[in-house]
Structures are given as C-alpha cells and as structure tokens.
Amino acid sequence: MNKNVRAKIVDLVPYKVSSTNYRWTLNANESPINLFDDWQDEIMAELKSESINLYPSANCDELRNLLANINGCLADNIVCGNGSDEIIKMVTEVFIDQNDKVVIPTPTFSEYFTSVTVAGGDIIPIKSKTDFSFDVDAIIEAANQNQAKLIFLCVPNNPTGLATKTSDIERIVNETQSIIAIDEAYFEFYGKTSALLAIENERLIVMRTLSKAFGVAGIRLGYAIANPNTIDLIQRVRMPYNISALTQAVARVAVRNFEQIQSITQIMIEERERMVSQLSLLDLEIMESHTNFILYRSKKFEILMEKFEAERIGVRVYPKDPMLRNCIRISLGTKEANDAVIAVFKEVVNNV
Ligand SMILES: Cc1ncc(COP(=O)(O)O)c(C=O)c1O
C-alpha cells in the first residue's frame, strides 16, 4: 500500500459488481425494461439538438425544468448529479468535515458509509429493530447526544424495502438539529415523499434517481430536491458540467415520458403483489416491500443460493451483515423472470 494514502481510505473496499452472465440479473434493482426502442426517435432528436463540440448546459437547465414540473416545484429546488451516488457525495461534502458525526440507521445503502468515510466524518450506526424498522428514538437520541451534523434516511430502505412513516420522519426533523438527507431512490414504487417538507425546511434534502422506476440506470442521472438555499450550498461543491450532454438528452426524454413510466411502475407494483401472494404460503419470511425488490429470509438459504446460481438468476446477499443472515434481496424483473424466482422458491422451500 502506498504510504501516502489517507488512513481513512486504507480500509475502504472498491465497489465491485459481479460480472457473471446471468439469464436474469435481479441483483441491482434496475428496471427490466429497456425503453430505447420506444424512445429512439425522441432520443435522436434530442441528441441532434446538442452541440457535442461544446460543453453541455452547466446546470441542466431544461432537464431541471422538466423535473420540477413532475415534482410540482421550481427548477431552483433541484440540482442534478451523476447518479444519486454523486448527490450523496455532494451532500456529504457540503456538511461533513474531519470527525463530524453522521447518524446512519443500519442495515441500509452502502454509499452513505463510503461518502462519509472519504470525507473524514465519524459514522454512528443505529441498528434497526428486529423487524428492520428504523429505531426512531435511538436515531434522535444519538443525533442529539453527538451533535450529529447529518442523518441519512433511506425511505423506502434498501435492502429491506420497508418505509419509515412520515410522522416518524417529521419527529426526526423536529426533535434534532441535524441535516436530514432522505434517499427516495425507490419513491415511485411507494408514492409518499418528503419533497414538500424539504422545499420548506432548509435542514432537509430529498435525493432521487432515474436509475430505478425511470429505467435509465445506464445514463447515470440523480437529483436532489431541497430549499433553494440548500441547493445553493450543493451547487458550490458540484463539479462544472457534471452531467454530460448525452445524459441530459436521454434524461429529458425519460422525464417527458413520465406517464409511460407511471404505468410501467404500476405493473411492477402488481408483479410485487403477485410474487408475495404466490410465495406467502411457503415457510419463507417476506419483508413488506415498498420498492422494486423484495427481501426474503429462509433457513434454506444455502440450497436456495445454489439453485439461483444453477438457474443463472443474479440475486443479492449480505454475508458480512449478521442482521441480514439468510437474507436474499431479489429485484422484480419481467413476468418470466419473476416466475423463475417463484419456481426456485417453490422447489426448495416447503409449505408452512
Ligand atoms: C437507496 C439507493 N440510493 C441510491 C442508489 C444509487 O442510485 P444511482 O444509480 O442514482 O447512483 C441506489 C442504487 O441502488 C440505492 O439503492
């Protein structure tokens, strides 16, 4: 290891993605539907309108207007990022200095830990209750006792799929002094948002992505919704021209086709309900999902994993987290992929 490396970086593990050639890739909560063919003409027209010899719109002006439109806010309430991963990084950079405290309920999305560690902050993990619901009292107490600068809340949460009640989010806002970054990556599958609260309250930031319901993970586009004063702070750390002209062009098409996205989302929600009803008679724990994935827990974990591997179905597991022992997170796929998942469970897991 190079002796000049910062101490905080030494223990970080690079983000790795399995490159296995699965029949169905259900391990990253992407959309199973590639809309490129549907949108090809619109995308080509948008691309032609870009001058790729020039830098792109520095602040994604047209895209922010479209995003503001579907969210019932103003473009000044929005900043775009290279995926919501970049939003998480920018929010951390704005508020976290060496040894500042950040409260993170666990288990949750890993990028909060990476961003805070890179910024030099200290993480205060708050273990969720055994039913995976966030321990709201413990979050509030830890934030106040440690004068936490920032709290990350993933609503609905990845990897559990559970959503924290709006009244609990309001309690955390009202009973702490921290900045609260609410990750709504799966908002479209849930329907409830803290966006209006964030527009009013400078201590709240809502983070969104086009990688899940909108089905364009490949272009890398995330955004934050917040009060203009908070957006102004994030703008200070944003890299110039962080969103390429190509990404802006495709993102505009995706957002303009919001109605189509809404009907696809509805189909995914129906698929989620179908899976739960098909599997509910099995001796299998199924967490209540408000997302496009479901977390399962089974005593037959090892046999299930062998079977998923044999069927070349990519799923996600958490060998390092004791709370997620025997848990498998599986994204919703096409009907055919979902049927393949159901078949594996029915073959391996007995009826109750
Ligand atoms: C909760 C959560 N936030 C953020 C992201 C990252 O999304 P993006 O593709 O916009 O960087 C993910 C991706 O899986 C996620 O699950």
| C-alpha span between 315 and 323 (Å, rounded) | 18
Query: Sign (positive/negative) of CA torsion 102, 105, 107, 110?
Result: negative
Q: Quote the radius of gyration of the chain (alpha carbons, Å).
A: 21
Closest ligand 1 atom, residue 84 Cα: 10
Give the separation between CA 131 and CA 280, rounded to whole angstroms: 17
- For residue 125, what are its two tokens? 């993990």
- Contact assessment for residue 269 and residue 186, using Cβ atoms and an 8 Å cutoff: no
Joined tokens for residue 321 = 């987290």
CA 13 to chain centre: 20
Domain boundaries, the chain: 7-34+259-347, 51-257
**pLDDT by 10s per residue, the chain, length 352:** 888 999 889 989 888 877 779 999 999 999 999 999 999 999 999 999 999 999 999 999 999 999 999 999 999 999 999 999 999 999 999 999 999 999 999 999 999 999 999 999 999 999 999 999 999 999 999 999 999 999 999 999 999 999 999 999 999 999 999 999 999 999 999 999 999 999 999 999 999 999 999 999 999 999 999 999 999 999 999 999 999 999 999 999 999 999 999 999 999 999 999 999 999 999 999 999 999 999 999 999 999 999 999 999 999 999 999 999 999 999 999 999 999 999 999 999 987 6
Task: Compute the distance between CA of residue 1 and CA of residue 183 in angstroms, rounded to an integer.
Answer: 34
| Number of residues written out for the chain | 352
Please name the CATH architecture into which domain 51-257 falls: 3-Layer(aba) Sandwich (3.40)
- Which residue has 């690079």 as its token pair? 14
Ligand 1 centre to CA of 281 (Å) is: 32
Assess contact for 344 and 23: CB atoms under 8 A: no
Nearest protein Cα to ligand 1, atom 12: 185
Lining ligand 1 with CB less than 6 A are 29, 83-85, 109, 154, 158, 183, 185, 209, 211, 217, 222
Query: In the CATH scheme, what architecture does the domain 7-34+259-347 have?
Result: Alpha-Beta Complex (3.90)
Residues 93, 95, 98: CA angle, nearest 5 degrees: 75
